[in-house]
Chains A and B, each alone.
Chain A
Amino acid sequence: MNKNKKLILICVMLLVVSLSGWSRPSAETGVEEWQIPFLNILTGPIASIGGYLQWGAERAAEEINAAGGIAGKPVRIVSIDTGMEPAGGITEMSKLLDSALVVMGPVPEPVILAAVPLAAEEGLYSFTATTSYEYVADFYPWAISWFPPTTERLAPIISGWLNHIGASRVVQFVENYGVWAGMAKAHEQGVADAGATLLRQVDVSTDAVTFGPLAVNALQQNPDAIIFACNPQKIPSIINELKSRGWTRMSNLLIFSSGDAPELYSVGGSNINGAMIYNYVDPGLSSPRWDAFRAAYKAAYNGSEPPSLSPNYYDAVYMIKSAIEGAGITGDPSRLAAERILLRDYCNEIQNFEGIQFTWSNNHGYPKNKPLYLFEIQNGAKIKVLEIIPE
């Protein structure tokens, strides 16, 4: 057989294998084992985020199995990679439409925008636990959010910070990605509530690699406070540029919650000491579950602190467990549609759910009473400065 024929044969075989692969759904909800498919990002430049989200979900599954499983049956997280590609996202989601009880993810926003509408239309409930409320609100009741609406909670924390530092002239760095522009708008409200002035909004280009021009643009306004609503990896570089031009008031720099990611600390190091940051997770909290989670994460990730999103899918697995046990879900394939609705309704209105950090209740698919904290950064650690607990 010559080289051409061999190659064609290989191609045809690959095609046959690729087509036959779909006769067997990979993520069935069986009665012997609870399989929870997780549409995650495991490849490409931001695979590291998917890595620690997966770690959190796997840890919850291990704990649950060690304690007897869900309703007496073991649970397994089925990892599925969507990459960043919307087309890949809907094809992977479509594999689950006929068989899965529930799906965790997707994670990247472009994939959420393509795959969650499909799942919603087909009556499959998505646990989109890392994205903002705004991304999934349109698909309620078939998608749950881990965060309250952006505008609800951000304005008070901004005005609280401005009052704390006594500043009145604000510049904001904004990257036009996902919900960040919306968060920046909520910050604006907070600035106005504090009686301060927003002097300028400096747009940060998505593929910027040097930040001197942006720092000059901001400083020429002569601000006394700066807010960052951009990629966490870029924030330390912008801070460096500000410092190299004489900026010294570190507590007058505020980083938004999406900036609270490992990239910020791995790049920023001690250069961002003294800067403020707000988020929904308090790493300084001490409880047996959180302490164990934190220690395990540090062991797995060379001593790094768990990122603020790392507990989200850990909690998601526990919430699914709670729903299955609480709503009496059996996993019987013949009752799939009805049990999907049972699980959905249970989670959308779950009350006093014991998350790893705090106990919260949902209303219309999002948490009503999650606290929001303001921290000061010191050598990668966060020291609590302010806490806003909703009534």
Chain B
Amino acid sequence: MLNIEILIAQIVNGLSLGSIYVLLVTGFNLLLLVAMIIHFSFPVIIVFSIYMSWIVMNLTGSLALGILAAVASAILVNMVSAPIFQHIMRKRGSVDINATMVISMGMGMLITEWTSHAINNGFPISFETEAVDPHGWLRATRAPFIRAGLVSISYSQVLTLLTGIILVAALFWVLYKTKAGRAFRAIAENPDGARLVGIPLLKTGVQSYILTGILGGLTAALMALLLGQASPDLGDQLGHKVLGISIIAGLGNLGGGLVIALLLGIVEAIVQGVFSGGSWSNTVAFLLMLVIVLAKPRGVFGIKL
């Protein structure tokens, strides 16, 4: 039977899982909004940044440099992949944007191969070792600061959730309330039209890729903090669910993504926590998505592209 203590514990757990989904879905939606890219392998890019952060922290033992490495590597990946995606987007009249999804899968494959061969002999990486975290800061943030029975809350959980919410609010403001944001969306929707009204394509394009890179880097740092580990298949495990949440919420809908991501996290936690059937939790999640899609094919909160 589900008592109140267990229910609260599972809601906290669900919010924690949901906050990972929030960060990833926000990044995925942002790429759609500012570049019209369906980056199916966006979570794999995040895993790449987590690995870069781990390499730097392993060498220097510095948390600040680790976060910087995560952000810098995410920006770098974005800048390197930008010409490839833009090449496709330039021919959007004749090319379907789903082609960006296939390119994204190719990129994901390259990163997975790199992490599974070149880093730590392909074994999973941990952020809780002496070399990576010599001062024990990461371990301290991962330790619970509130514990009441089975309810346990850590700083990392709170930080990830709050950052996720703040990021969504900030991005919403940037995209919909500032001139730069309108320029990003204009270029994504109609590059020729944007050029005609005097928007500098190159400069704005670079800015949008830097913005998505910063978000990607922060997501990587927070996921490393929350999970404490990463492995080459982590991105693949999350990819389809991120796509699912984005569709259910409504493609490109930042606020909708936040709500659905948190709700899905809570539903999964309760299914895993109440029934013994953890192996059915994904099925329940996808069944739920199925029902919602059948009722609301354009997403619960509507497509915002």
Do A and B share a complex? yes
B124 & A205 in contact (Cβ 8 Å cutoff): no
**Chain A positions within 8 Å of B141 at CB level:** none
Q: Does A32 contact B (CB under 8 A)?
A: no
Which of A116-124, A238-246, A279-287, A354-362 forms contacts with chain B? Answer: A238-246
Asked whether A45 lies within 8 Å of B147 as measured between CB atoms, the reply is: no
Residues of A within 8 A of B154 (CB): 244
Interface-facing stretch out of A14-22, A266-274, A319-327, A363-371: A266-274
Contact B10 A304 (CB under 8 A): no
Chain A neighbourhood of B237, CB < 8 A: 207, 209
Interface size class, chain B: 35 or more
A184, chain B: closest CB distance, angstroms = 12
A interface bracket (residues with beta carbon within 8 Å of B): 35 or more
Q: Is B198 an interface residue (CB 8 A)?
A: no
Report the Cα distance A315→B121, complex, angstroms.
Answer: 23
Chain B residues with CB under 8 A of A263:
123-124, 231
Q: A45-B116, A269-B128 are in contact. Are A200 and B121 (CB under 8 A)?
A: no
Asked if A245 contacts B150 (CB within 8 A), the reply is yes
A189-215 near B? 1/0 per residue, CB < 8 Å: 000000000001111111111101110
| Residue among A46, A213, A245 with the highest chain B CB neighbour number at 10 A | A213
B252 CB–A CB distance under 8 Å? no
Q: Whole-angstrom distance from the CB of A144 to the nearest CB of chain B?
A: 27
CB distance from A88 to the nearest CB of B (A): 15
With contacts A45-B236, A213-B268 taken as known, whether A266 is within 8 angstroms of B116 at the C-beta atoms is: no
Partner among A244, A266, A269 whose Cβ is within 8 Å of the Cβ of B147: A244
Give the residues in chain A near B112, CB-CB below 8 Å.
44-45
Note all chain B residues with C-beta closer than 8 A to A207: 237-238, 282
Chain B residues whose C-beta falls within 8 Å of the C-beta of A236 in the assembled complex: 126, 229
Q: Per-position contact with B for A164-176: 1 when CB-CB < 8 Å, else 0?
A: 0000000000011
Contacts A216-B273, A217-B272, A219-B150 given; indicate if A46 touches B116 (C-beta within 8 A): yes
A204 to chain B, nearest CB (A): 5
Listed residue (A52, A208, A209) with the most chain B CB atoms within 10 angstroms of its CB: A209
When C-beta atoms are compared, the residue in chain B nearest to A232 turns out to be: B124
Among candidates A47, A203, A240, residue contacting B122 with C-beta atoms closer than 8 Å: A47
The 8 closest A-B pairs by CB, nearest first: A48-B122, A212-B13, A45-B233, A203-B278, A213-B272, A213-B269, A207-B237, A213-B273
Could you give 11 example pairs across A and B, Cβ below 8 Å? A44-B112, A44-B113, A45-B231, A46-B116, A202-B278, A204-B278, A208-B278, A208-B281, A213-B17, A219-B150, A245-B150
Query: Which residues of B line the A interface, CB within 8 A?
Result: 6, 9-10, 12-14, 16-17, 20, 112-113, 116-117, 120-126, 128-129, 142-144, 147, 150, 152, 154, 226-229, 231-234, 236-238, 268-270, 272-274, 276-282
Contacts A245-B147, A266-B123 given; 18 further ones with Cβ under 8 A?
Answer: A46-B232, A52-B121, A176-B279, A203-B279, A205-B278, A205-B279, A207-B238, A209-B20, A212-B9, A213-B278, A214-B272, A216-B273, A217-B274, A220-B6, A233-B229, A240-B142, A244-B147, A267-B228
